[in-house]
């Protein structure tokens, strides 16, 4: 937050808004208290109750089960070795299934506490198929493609009204020769979620408004389509915050901005008054099927589930790789905002379809990839 003199009302507003712009105010009076052993803040639990139709105890139980599944998945992946073929939680987020292509590893994987499904193709083989598709130039009628662990195939989604397009047919013909590929139809084309300038929003690059993702040591991470390397960033009040130090879009959709000029960072995701603000304690990756919530400057706080990982999304500007797909809604201006599971950072909002009135789906770029790419350290509580 920028150190300026304001009235008490303006100061409170500045602190609440600057939580998103600068990663949150460092003043102890505004940092939410949360026990280290709590599954999530009261606000996250309230949002899960709203968006999943759960009681508080059910939300707590789901988060506890997901945390346990994250540990099991790590052990199971190690035991399965080259036979690992993906993992996912059931619809209730209670039981983890791990797919293996090596039947001889099934018993050892089962001993970790996971259910086991024996399949034909390993994750490595499916990734190789997807990589062959990534090397192709996709027409706009192809919306995305991903490794789908539950079907043990690479799923290509084509816009329903573009199935007869010659370029789409040519792409699919090549895709089917790449390996185990299934084609499905999609009703909506993905798009990025930047927005024009609107007063009172978290940060701007020129006339584009986007949202902060997560605080890192020395700055914050956000979406690459929000600005290019070297571009200046201004806060909600128009004051200078920093510059994009690195940015990649398309191919990737991530960036990071340095923070200075009287602004600073703390490990908080803003609840926007809808829920209490959430402390960030790490970046352990949530499995497919896990609950996940998103914070953004337009639609604020919404929750859903992780639908798929390692999906290539074909925006009009070009394809973006290694994205995670969710059932969470988003709207223009939410780009770059935080995806969090419990108290674990997951990624920054990239794009999607739909809105938070009628519903939709949103993709995010995983946080650990961004940290590794730029050598950044996540700011944690």
User: Catalytic amino acids?
Assistant: 225, 253, 335
CA nearest to 126, candidates 93, 167, 163, 155? 155
Structure tokens at 94: 């209670």
Q: What CA–CA distances, in Å, run from 199 to 83, 204, 235?
A: 53, 10, 11
Q: How far apart are the C-alpha atoms of 350 and 158, rounded to whole Å?
A: 20
Q: Across-strand partners of 145?
A: 156, 312
Give residue 342's region: left, alpha or beta (phi > 0; psi -120 to 50): left
CA nearest to 216, candidates 34, 370, 32? 370
Which helix (H) or strand (E) segment is 228 a member of?
Answer: none
Question: Helix or strand or coil: residue 48?
Answer: helix
Q: What CA–CA distances, in Å, run from 135 to 178, 312, 329?
A: 11, 11, 30
Q: Is the dihedral of CA 17, 31, 343, 378 positive or negative?
A: positive
Residue 255: what are its φ and ψ, rounded to 5°?
A: -160, 165
Q: Is the peptide bond before 136 cis (omega within 30 degrees of 0)?
A: no
Q: How far apart are the C-alpha atoms of 289 and 86, rounded to whole Å?
A: 12
Contacts of 3 (CB under 8 A, 6+ apart): 262
């Amino acid at each position: 937050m920028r150190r300026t003199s304001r009235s008490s009302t303006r100061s409170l507003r500045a602190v609440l808004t600057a939580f998103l712009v600068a990663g949150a105010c460092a003043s102890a009076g505004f940092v939410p208290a949360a026990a280290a052993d709590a599954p999530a803040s009261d606000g996250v639990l309230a949002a899960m109750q709203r968006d999943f139709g759960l009681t508080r105890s059910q939300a707590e139980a789901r988060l506890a089960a997901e945390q346990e599944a994250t540990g099991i998945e790590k052990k199971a992946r190690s035991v399965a070795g080259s036979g690992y073929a993906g993992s996912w939680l059931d619809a209730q987020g209670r039981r983890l299934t791990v797919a293996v292509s090596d039947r001889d590893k099934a018993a050892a994987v089962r001993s970790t506490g996971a259910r086991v499904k024996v399949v034909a193709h390993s994750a490595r083989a499916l990734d190789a198929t997807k990589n062959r598709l990534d090397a192709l130039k996709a027409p706009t009628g192809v919306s995305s493609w991903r490794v789908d662990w539950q079907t043990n195939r690479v799923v290509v989604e084509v816009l329903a009204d573009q199935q007869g397009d010659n370029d789409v047919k040519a792409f699919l013909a090549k895709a089917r020769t790449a390996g185990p590929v299934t084609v499905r139809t999609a009703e909506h084309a993905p798009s990025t979620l930047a927005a024009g300038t609107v007063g009172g929003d978290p940060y701007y690059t020129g006339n584009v408004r986007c949202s902060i993702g997560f605080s890192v040591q020395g700055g914050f991470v956000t979406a690459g389509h929000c600005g290019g390397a070297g571009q200046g960033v201004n806060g909600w009040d128009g004051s200078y915050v920093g510059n994009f130090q690195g940015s990649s879009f398309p191919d990737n959709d991530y960036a990071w901005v340095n923070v200075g000029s009287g602004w600073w960072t703390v490990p908080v995701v803003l609840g926007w008054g809808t829920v209490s603000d959430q402390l960030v304690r790490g970046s352990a990756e949530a499995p497919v099927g896990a609950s996940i919530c998103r914070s953004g400057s337009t639609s604020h706080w919404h929750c859903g589930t992780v639908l798929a990982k390692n999906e290539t999304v074909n925006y009009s500007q070009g394809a973006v790789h290694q994205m995670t797909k969710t059932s969470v809604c988003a709207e223009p201006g939410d780009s770059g905002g935080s995806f969090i599971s419990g108290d674990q950072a997951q990624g920054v909002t990239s794009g999607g379809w739909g809105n938070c009135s009628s519903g939709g789906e949103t993709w995010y770029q995983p946080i650990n990839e961004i940290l590794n790419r730029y050598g950044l350290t996540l700011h944690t509580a």
